[in-house]
Amino acid sequence: MNDEFYVSLIGEVFDGYTECVFRDAPIYIKHFSIRDQRYIQKYYEKHKNLAVNRGVETEEQILKRLKEDDIWSEADDVKIDSLSFEIKNLKATQKNLFIPSQRERMQKDINEKQREIITLESKRKEVVGRTAEDYASSRAAEEMLRYFIYSDPELKNLKFSQEEFDDIEDYELLNINTQQMEISNRLSEENLQRAVLRPFFSMYLSLCENVNGFYGKSVTMLSAYQLKTVMFGRMFYNIFQYTDNIPENIKDDPEKLLSFSEAQRNKDSGKKFIKDDADATAIFGATKEDMESLSSDSGGKAVSLSEELKKAGGKLNMEQMIKLSGR
């Protein structure tokens, strides 16, 4: 993506709406805000109660019946919860690892467990089928859609009355939903992060510390995209302020920048294994690439203890250990 795309993206966020087309005329789709959450929840509860009163079972009721019929088991639910707990712990552990190869191996474990969860949840959804919650979510989203569509960029006049909205053809409603999905994809967290790291936004980064001053509005009046933009701005501003020796080639890549910042912080926790005044440092389990990375930051020479053990035939005496430590 070029700068033109990201400038347009930030402009869209600042506007608080996206201009779209319906029946060859412009419409303005308002961006979701924290205040809208209350209305969505209200409509969700309303339609869930309607579904239950009409005999549609809740997910809890269906699962109970499926377990009684041995179609789904308590063990399956426990497995999903267990995997979720493991992933949470693995991510917490990963943040404390300062050796890159160990972080990569940990990420592979996380990815594998996430795939297991997806498989189990897909299986549960297949056997459960449509629930009262599904019906409520669908109808609430449809009902709320009218409240996000305006006829003017000032977002003062709704485009449709309830009667007009009810008369919209299904294919037209699908078209509006598709445009909404495109807005969501375009204003993804990844794209917003990349946007605030573009050169044109650099002058705004320090201003993101004051959310109210940045937009001139109270926080409760801001859209979710506006809040995320300043949140990412503050996050990356702090990284640039307090992280040393950031390579130029990663300064506009959010994923690499976050990983580098995390690795730098974790290296501080690993300094107890590294003596700055030593000629060499040995870290067990580190690869050659890990040691090159660590030594470039510490300014000293780093060696892999496992590699040295191989060279010595699997054993190191005290003299050899002292030599490796640089004494």
Whether residue 148 sits in one domain with residue 240: no
If you average pLDDT over residues 284-307, what whole number do you get? 55
- Among candidate residues 234, 260, 286, the one where a domain is terminated: 260
pLDDT tens digit string along 235-289?
A: 999 999 988 888 888 899 998 888 888 877 766 555 544 444 444 455 555 555 5
The residue among 323 and 179 whose pLDDT is bigger is 179
For residue 293, name the pLDDT band (cuts at 50, 70, 90).
low
- Among candidate residues 103, 129, 155, the one where a domain is terminated: 129
Whether residue 32 sits in one domain with residue 94: no
DSSP 150: E
DSSP 219: G
Output the average pLDDT for the chain.
84
Tokens of 285: 């389990």
In a domain, 9, yes or no: no
DSSP 32: P
Total domains in the chain come to 4
- Among candidate residues 142, 162, 187, the one where a domain is terminated: 187
Residues 283, 291: Cα–Cα separation, whole Å: 8
Residues 127, 73: Cα–Cα separation, whole Å: 11
The burial of 134, by beta-carbon neighbours within 10 Å (0-12 exposed, 13-18 middle, 19 or more buried), is given as middle
Tell me the backbone φ, ψ of residue 30, rounded to 5 degrees: -70, 140
Give me the domain span that covers residue 315: 272-324
Whether residue 195 sits in one domain with residue 179: no
Taking phi over 0 as left and psi of -120 to 50 as alpha, with beta for the rest, 277 belongs to alpha
Answer whether 79's CB lies under 8 Å from 124's CB. no
Q: Would you say residue 180 has pLDDT above 50?
A: yes
Q: What is the pLDDT of residue 289?
A: 58
In a domain, 168, yes or no: yes
Q: Would you say residue 15 has pLDDT above 80?
A: yes
If you average pLDDT over residues 160-170, what whole number do you get? 90
Residues 323, 89: Cα–Cα separation, whole Å: 38
Whether residue 27 sits in one domain with residue 145: yes
pLDDT tens digit string along 94-142?
A: 777 767 777 788 889 999 999 999 999 999 999 999 999 999 998 888 8
- Helix or strand run (H / E) with residue 149: strand 149-150
For residue 308, name the pLDDT band (cuts at 50, 70, 90).
low
